[in-house]
Amino acid sequence: MLKEQIISAIESGNQCKGFLEEIQKEIIATPKSIVILDDDPTGTQTVYNLPVVTSWESSVLEKEIINSPVFFILTNSRSLQIEEANQLAESLGSKLNKLSKKHNKQLIVVSRGDSTLRGHYPNEVDALAKGLENQNAKHILAPAFFEGGRYTYGDVHYVKEGDDFIPANETPFAKDNTFGYENANLVDWIVEKYEGKINKNAIESLSIDFLRTQSTAAFLKKIESRKKSHIVVNATSYSDLEAVALAVLKSKETFLLRTSASFVNAITGIEAKDCLSKEEILNDQKTGGSLIVIGSYVPKTSAQLAVLKEHSKAVFLELDVSNVKNDALFQEDIHQLSKKVNQYLQENKDVVFHTSRTIIRGATKAESLAIVNRVSNGVISIIKQLNIKPKYIVAKGGITSSDVATKGLNVQRAHVLGQALKGVPVWKLGNETKFPNMPYIIFPGNVGDNQALYQLTKLLK
């Protein structure tokens, strides 16, 4: 019965007119700088023709504030320990606040987080608020991400797997070593993340029925209520998110937005469009072997890797992560793999380089995250030692794709072309990078069915 209700809500929502035109008019009438702080590069998975910067220098941010109405800042904060994530969020908030005052720009700042609820919350958003000098701003939580099959209905956040809608707390994502959680009901999830230091009565819920039957004035009254400190957004279609986005744009108050990628489209008035063609992705990159780098170890990625191995003629190379605690052995593995990757690319062969599927856990959440970063550093070392330019690079996983971009390829500013598959963004790299103008494809660990990675290689064959 619940499944039918969700499907009905999705279908009826998709038939709603939505508020896209009104949002676009509002943005023109009252221009704002919309800045998305992205805790890994996968947040660009619904937009196109926008810049993303990886530097946090004030001069870089100032240039974007002046020239770009909408831009992404890649923080990769999901890979940071909690203290580092807080420091970065506060620092960025402070810099953006000063720049908005200097140039008289009204800011809307979005903290783009994972649609399966992993990440630094609420500490990262609270630290951002401190930097923005707006500690009393209301939190709006909207994790629905339709391109990836994430829907919020009856306050419960669901992940679509096949024909089923699974409460997020029953998925492998909820068992994350660092960011695990017990509740899929977002009201309860907020209480859990605050370790019980917030009362349920302080949390407002915007139901789908409310969003589809009430006026923008009613939305404004609800979100501006002084009685609530947090707002949960239910959404099964873009029209639901657009209703909230329009109210935020019209409001005189400032909100702290913790959302998925779909809300970015709503708040910026960017209409969804078709995925890119092979020609649009590769442009003039016609020859040479490709490189797929897989660091993500979630079950979905492992299933996608298994299908790729079954059907692809690429060369598969594995980094054994069981050696990660033995530095000498681990470094020797990396050295040998680097030689092989370059050799096969020299021979114009497609290469799939992946970490082994064993999960190495630490004694604490912090230690587990440190192990993840140690493995990622090994992967980056191989990218740094590339001396053959691939036709394109696919990076699988959030931390992996960020580290490959910033530490391996020296990306400082990239242009988001669009998506190769739903939820899979394509960047065109700048001239400062190791491989200028090369297509860089960011494949989130938690996106797509088991065939998706193989389908991508077929598209680009």
What is the per-residue pLDDT across 6-35, written as a single tens digit (0 to 9) for each?
A: 999 999 999 998 899 999 999 999 999 999
Question: Which of 52, 45, 446, 456 shows the shortest CA–CA distance to 277?
Answer: 456
Q: Superfamily for 278-459?
A: Four-carbon acid sugar kinase, nucleotide binding domain (3.40.980.20)
Judged against a pLDDT cut of 80, whether residue 371 lies above it is answered with no
Length of the chain in terms of residues written: 461
Classify burial at 60, counting beta carbons within 10 Å of its beta carbon; exposed 0-12, middle 13-18, buried 19 or more: middle
Domains 2-268 and 278-459 share a fold: no
Average pLDDT, the chain: 93
What residue ranges do the domains of the chain occupy?
2-268, 278-459
Q: What are 7-10's contacts with CB under 8 Å, separation 24+?
A: 9/151, 9/153, 9/208, 9/236, 9/237, 10/151, 10/236, 10/237
Q: Write down the pTM of the prediction.
A: 0.90
Q: β-strands 138-142, 107-112: how paired?
A: unpaired
Taking only the tens place, the pLDDT of each residue in 281-297 is 998 777 789 999 998 77
Q: Please report the pLDDT score of residue 185 as a whole number.
A: 98
> What is the fold of 2-268?
Rossmann fold (3.40.50)
Taking only the tens place, the pLDDT of each residue in 109-145 is 999 999 999 999 999 999 999 999 998 899 999 999 9
Q: Please report the pLDDT score of residue 220 as a whole number.
A: 94
Judged against a pLDDT cut of 80, whether residue 323 lies above it is answered with no
